[in-house]
Amino acid sequence: MSNSYKSSVLNVASIVLLTRMYVGAATQIFAIPDFLDKSLVVFCAILCAIQISVRKYNKLEFIGLFFFGIIIVISAILSKEYTFLYTFMLVLLIGKNSVKSFLSYYFRYCAALLISINIIYVAGLALGMVELSIKNGQNCFTGGFATGNAYAFIVFWLVSLYLYIHFDDCKIGHIIGFTVLSFLISYISLCKTVMVLSIINGIAITLLKNGWYPKKILEFLARWLFPVLGVAYCSAITIFANKMGSNYAAVFAIDHFLTGRIRNAAYYYEKFGFTFWGREISKGAISYDDYYRLTSVTIDGLYPLLFLQVGFCMFILLCLAFVLVKKNKEVGRVELYFLIVYVIFGLSEMFVANGIICFPLLILAGILFNKNNYLKIESELRL
């Protein structure tokens, strides 16, 4: 099968997945009918099957993908949370192509799609067809997306993706400019988390370009930070729910810093416990009580999403993936850095479960399944 045919399948399928995700998230402008949404997913699944059939995987690679796939499908069916499944579909579509080449093409398309959605949203505001959202009593610019947080999050990762792709030839002025862009978007969308992270990210990448971070330290953090934070978060949930323990005061303070995320997770844990294979959870209004002090409850953050809805099975798979990063000696400092950013971002946002937005998941998959090729820039994916 020719490379051009394989690339055509990837291009078509990735465009469908990306468009579906962006348009589906822009709920202030678009509403995708359920039938059309499911049809697009089935279409992409068929293209995934075609890609698998034309790729030359050895037995170990095929067994690994099959093993990952079965667990991800079971978890998605039981939890009704499909973001990891869609990410896995994209990984299968990329196959043995260069992940970095795909991300270069991906950035151009996503940037064009985001700008188009923003233009439609602004036009809707000007014509009175769309209203500004209100957050904490203030007008919030959402860019057409469901919330200002979602908009700021998407822009942050697109900016980070640009800095990743062009890291070697990126000037300090570019880093400052894109950092300011991300900060301003998060400012008008009232997302304080991304405002802070934008500044930290800009400073960190500047230092990274100047070789301030020894690779061994980055490698250690990239491998072990995810499982360590996961175990710590799991412990914090149980301590908060049990209302006791020597570390209770510290957990209570951390929950305040994370704006109630541990509190929400502890409420679910007390009611339902943790899950291994996945479980569907209802979110929304609840009866107020003096301990949790919540009128509504939700899951916010990657770690509670894994423990309470998607399942410990997915947490174990991700731990295995991060630990195995060391097996690939070609992994660069910038890849290690963005894996660390991904892990830290997971403390506050569950959006990171979506590799279609959060590119570090695709880097991680490329390191595991495509270790000799994922860093190369190729021309076969260019439209």
pLDDT per position as a tens digit, 225-262:
999 999 999 999 999 998 876 778 899 899 998 889 99
How confident is the model over 186-207, as pLDDT tens digits?
999 989 889 999 999 999 999 8
Cα separation, 63 vs 61, whole angstroms: 6
Do 241 and 169 lie in one domain? The reply is: no
Do 191 and 258 lie in one domain? The reply is: no
Is 289 part of a structural domain of the chain? Answer: yes
Do 283 and 226 lie in one domain? The reply is: yes
Q: How many domains are there within the chain? A: 2
The pLDDT assigned to 378 comes to 40
What are the φ and ψ backbone dihedral angles of 284, each rounded to 5 degrees?
A: 140, -150
As a whole-number percent, the residues of the chain with pLDDT over 70 amount to: 91
Stated pTM of the model: 0.88
Provide the terminal-to-terminal Cα distance of the chain, rounded to the nearest Å.
19
How confident is the model over 262-289, as pLDDT tens digits?
999 999 999 999 999 999 988 888 888 8
The pLDDT assigned to 379 comes to 37
Given 212, 240, 258, which residue is the final one in a domain? 212
Cα separation, 344 vs 196, whole angstroms: 13
Is 207 part of a structural domain of the chain? Answer: yes
Is 33 part of a structural domain of the chain? Answer: no
Which residue range(s) make up the domain with 161? 132-212
Given 313, 337, 360, which residue is the final one in a domain? 313
The pLDDT assigned to 58 comes to 75
| Site of tokens 């301990």 | 291
Do 222 and 208 lie in one domain? The reply is: no
Cα separation, 153 vs 138, whole angstroms: 19
How confident is the model over 53-63, as pLDDT tens digits?
777 777 777 88
Q: Is 170 exposed, middle or buried (CB count within 10 Å of its CB: 0-12, 13-18, 19+)?
A: middle
> Is residue 144 within 8 Å of 28, Cβ to Cβ?
yes
The pLDDT assigned to 382 comes to 38
Do 204 and 238 lie in one domain? The reply is: no
Given 156, 187, 212, which residue is the final one in a domain? 212
Do 208 and 224 lie in one domain? The reply is: no
Is 91 part of a structural domain of the chain? Answer: no
Do 297 and 222 lie in one domain? The reply is: yes
Do 307 and 220 lie in one domain? The reply is: yes
* Residue partners of 132: CB distance under 8 A and separation at least 6: 125, 139, 140, 141, 142
pLDDT above 80: residue 211: no
pLDDT above 60: residue 177: yes
Do 226 and 269 lie in one domain? The reply is: yes
For the segment 322-341, the average pLDDT, to the nearest whole number, is 84
Among 143-147, 174-178, 273-277, name the one with the lowest average pLDDT. Answer: 143-147
Is 282 part of a structural domain of the chain? Answer: yes
| Site of tokens 């007390």 | 270
Q: What is the distance of C-alpha 213 from the center of its chain?
A: 24
Is 63 part of a structural domain of the chain? Answer: no
